[in-house]
């Protein structure tokens, strides 16, 4: 029975049900065969597990029958005890060792039939199970028994299974040949096209793919549903990319000034130190703290304080080169990373320019004019620190010296003691 598709006229294409009515007998046969084949592997696994259990039982049985022979180091008796059990089981090789790990007796299946040779090959290829047990006497280990399965039981099952599979495959091929000319064009090809496009979308993230129209109404509906899903996926991916970009920016940038934050700065600083080592240049860190910022906040309000921070960020940034980096660490603390620096004098001149630029008066939202300043601490890599942490600490200490001395000025860090010792040598 055909049904109306929403917003579309009744399709004249045959329905999926009408096609399946003509093919369900053949498809049922194929399904039964496939289900039957799917039982071979679990049965083989179960047989392998059972054989492994039997091998362990045989090893434990040999432990008791060979105990006396091992204690008295009677190799003939040990071999006879092993052979009496091994010949009755699925064992290819058995070895008996004394307490010193020396081989006392061994037994190997001497059968030279074709099936035995095939079993040996199968055991090697399939990594047939082994079993190892320790022989105890008066609470002490006096020896060890090692068994290796022959694989004859498993090979026999696999050969029988292979014959059954071959027979079923013949039936399945004959059935497929009969059914293919009836259902390939109407069902298989549209489904293959849909699966291929869905796979491309999944693997290549190519959601611009679209499913072509099908001659069967239900398959055509399915294809159109997939196309609508791909349209939504396109929209979702665009939205997700935009949101991810915004989240990444927020995670690494200060929301007020738009400058990168401390985490971003520390990552860039670590890379800059490696670059300085490779290029033979210097890297510098300027640690900067605002002077009198709390008074501005208390007197004029937080909006005015935010205006001051935004202006400081802009004024520091306009002094720097494109390859340099200025970040807001938090509150009224800022940091600058200078790379490819040749001399300390270059850094000091940049620090002086920043200090002068920040001291220029600015107008608050209420119309008031205020002057601000930054106390700046300078640290050079590697003179003032051999890693990012020590370099920041040196710059921070220098900044506090500048704040105690003359606010709005700069101070250079004291060279690291460890480096002084290296230079003295």
Query: Could you list the active site residues?
Result: 332
Residues 179, 24: contact at Cβ < 8 Å?
Answer: no
CA distances from 399 to 257, 260, 268, 348 (A): 22, 21, 21, 13
Per-residue tokens: 339:
């790379």
Please provide residue 334's backbone torsions phi and psi, each rounded to the nearest 5 degrees.
Answer: -130, 160
Quick one: which of 349, 333, 314 has its CA closest to 399? 333
Cα-to-chain-centroid distance, residue 329? 32
Residue 259 exposed, middle or buried by CB count within 10 Å (0-12, 13-18, 19+): buried
Residue 165 exposed, middle or buried by CB count within 10 Å (0-12, 13-18, 19+): middle
Please provide residue 253's backbone torsions phi and psi, each rounded to the nearest 5 degrees.
Answer: -135, 150
Looking at residue 246, what DSSP letter applies?
H
The dihedral sign for the CA sequence 105, 110, 116, 118: positive
Q: Which helix (H) or strand (E) holds 381?
A: strand 373-381
Cα–Cα distance, 422 to 425 (Å, whole number): 5
Residues 372, 407: contact at Cβ < 8 Å?
Answer: no
Please provide residue 329's backbone torsions phi and psi, each rounded to the nearest 5 degrees.
Answer: -80, -25
Cα–Cα distance, 362 to 159 (Å, whole number): 92
Cα–Cα distance, 146 to 160 (Å, whole number): 30
Residues 6+ apart with CB under 8 A from 44: 154, 157, 158, 161
CA distances from 47 to 38, 123, 151 (A): 15, 14, 11
Cα–Cα distance, 422 to 312 (Å, whole number): 39
């Amino acid at each position: 029975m055909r049904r109306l598709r929403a917003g579309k006229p009744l399709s004249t294409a045959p329905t999926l049900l009408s096609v399946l009515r003509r093919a369900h007998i053949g498809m049922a046969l194929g399904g039964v065969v496939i289900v039957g084949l799917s039982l071979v592997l679990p049965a083989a696994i179960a047989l392998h597990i059972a054989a492994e259990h039997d091998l362990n039982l045989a090893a434990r049985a040999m432990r008791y029958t060979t105990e006396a022979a091992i204690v008295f180091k009677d190799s003939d008796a040990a071999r006879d005890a092993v052979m009496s059990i091994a010949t009755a089981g699925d064992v290819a090789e058995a070895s008996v060792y004394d307490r010193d790990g020396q081989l006392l007796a061994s037994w190997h299946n001497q059968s030279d039939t074709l099936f035995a040779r095939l079993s040996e090959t199968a055991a090697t290829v399939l990594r047939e199970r082994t079993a190892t047990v320790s022989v105890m006497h008066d609470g002490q280990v006096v020896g060890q028994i090692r068994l290796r399965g022959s694989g004859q039981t498993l090979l026999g099952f696999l050969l029988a299974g292979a014959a059954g599979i071959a027979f079923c495959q013949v039936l399945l091929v004959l059935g497929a040949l009969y059914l293919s000319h009836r259902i390939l064009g109407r069902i298989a090809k549209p489904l293959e096209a849909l699966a291929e496009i869905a796979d491309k979308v999944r693997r290549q993230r190519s959601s611009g793919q679209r499913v072509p129209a099908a001659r069967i109404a239900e398959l055509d509906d399915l294809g159109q549903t997939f196309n609508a899903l791909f349209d939504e996926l396109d929209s979702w991916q665009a939205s997700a990319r935009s949101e991810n970009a915004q989240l990444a920016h927020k995670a690494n940038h200060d929301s007020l000034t738009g400058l990168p934050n401390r985490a971003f700065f520390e990552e860039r600083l670590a890379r800059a130190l490696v670059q300085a080592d490779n290029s033979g240049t210097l890297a510098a860190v300027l640690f900067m703290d605002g002077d009198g910022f709390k008074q501005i906040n208390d007197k004029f309000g937080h909006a005015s304080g935010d205006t001051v921070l935004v202006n400081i960020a802009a004024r520091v940034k306009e002094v720097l080169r494109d390859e340099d980096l200025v970040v807001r660490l938090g509150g009224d603390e800022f940091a600058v990373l200078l790379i490819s620096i040749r001399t300390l004098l270059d850094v000091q001149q940049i620090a002086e320019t920043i200090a002068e630029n920040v001291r220029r008066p600015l107008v608050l939202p209420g119309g008031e004019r205020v002057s601000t300043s930054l106390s700046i601490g300078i640290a050079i890599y590697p003179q003032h620190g051999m890693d990012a942490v020590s370099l920041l600490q040196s710059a921070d200490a220098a900044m506090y010296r500048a704040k105690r001395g003359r606010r709005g000025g700069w101070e250079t860090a004291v060279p690291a003691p460890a480096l002084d010792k290296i230079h003295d040598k």
